[in-house]
Structure 1
């Protein structure tokens, strides 16, 4: 039951998707998000990357489902995008079958699928670092295990997810990706400043107080590559490629409201929907939505074209995902803002979907990579290779 412009076909039953979407509508009404997350975990929908091995289809199916959720709730869709991007990146990364990482990954995927585990993530790179005392997450080797300490300012699905995935720095200077269960002593969640604005995402800061982790849940990274490590770049590319979905879903919901509004309002003796000026404005918004959808589709194609140790392809993947994120989130915000002008005060009716979206749509461009980071990156590229 794909609802976006690309009209893709899903491997999951429409009835299962419909049930989850209805459960989210109920959660939005009753503010009982715990019940929604329990229901979605009982379905196969959060575990698409465990069932589907075609990377392009994984992106399409995850993106489309997140977009459907975004039509109802940006916060919930954003939270689940964190689960999806980590799971999809780990599931599709081309580890060598002779490596320990490959078999650790396979064991982890089987566990996630069998036990229906949701994954939270703390590893997003942000423009500005805090000076309020938050410490970076560090890991210290202790025998056959590691001891984790430090704090991350944001983690969606806090108190909901079963496992956390994050990158920590070793005291030796190396980095490693950790997979750890969240139901253990020493992990503390603290409320963030978002309040009710992102209700349903369960976004909080998380502190690790000397948490011990078995080495089976660790993937070591090449210290020589540091921030340019292929796996980390691949993960970030998945994030940028999926995060437009919640906001485009919300923009699509607003366009539907705008269409319904125009079909019931008369201006100068005829329906607003029939006026040339309205059709011109609607066409402009549709173009923005279409462009965003196509850029997101291109990002998925780039991810599917990845080959290990090919820096050129990895750069294309990263840049395609960043471009999709940049324009899609901005276009979504512009669609909502323009619709507000066309609908007037009706748009801001207390308790309406449009009013709720208006408050939440601004988070899209603010999520990493932020506009500042993106423009700086492409500015540096232009100076280095002479492109404009």
Structure 2
């Protein structure tokens, strides 16, 4: 549900309808729960894990053409057919691949992240409705700032992210925040927000940065080192798709590697080329749209904000026509085009291509056709 900064409803979207249409549910996870699920599944499949194993370098020239060597701070060396660098937005692996410094781009925003136990909310007549099922994601949008909330663990926890102008030192990425300062920033907003924030005991603030992508290849020439996730294409959280893109990267890379016939440089190159072809345009488009959402969410009150709100209402009406008539789309007004819906997850935002994506199908579509030499016609040079 999209709200103005005083709490007035602007628009909404039913994700159950989108799930039925696209076959892709929209889930909110506690990060620790998602990490645990991934860890458990990886261990089931036989993966091993090392902790306290900080990477300081990756060598892939001195070891021949088929392996890379990871150097750890402890002095240990690990050799692999393929090293996957997935170390996040403040990446060492990216700089090792490029051979130069490559910091992310600051956005001018920071995020306060608040996680509340819902027990104190349940007895409050103003806050208790925020916990009612079906659970809702709420966005409050206002001058130079916005706030988001969603419920986790079936109502046990209430997550809030509050996005405001960045006042952190240039070299800081995460700092302890001040609860009173945070409340002050939202004192004139929907009264439920400062009331919720008053339940907070402590808070951290996170500098928000992004990475537009890489102009160069995501892998080295010998196909022994490749990048994945935020170290390539970190996006603002304003499209709620950053973790999803990293999971898609991993799935696409896995599908590609499952199709090769051996560990040779040639076979790995084929897999990594298809992987990058699958992921480059999609992830760069997500980053671009996330940056646009920053602008749309933070308009000062005035003509731009009013025009945005008019579009919220227009595209909600169009979406209702689609659902009522059982058609794939409706004709847009002449001054509008696909992508203009500020509620990005609807079909005329980016929903039609964001939520319908199938990693495996995309890999299959892009994988080079195999030539059956035995049955191929006799090919002769023609002069």
TM-score, length-scaled by structure 2: 0.29
- Structure number with the higher helix fraction is 1
- Structure number with greater Rg is 2
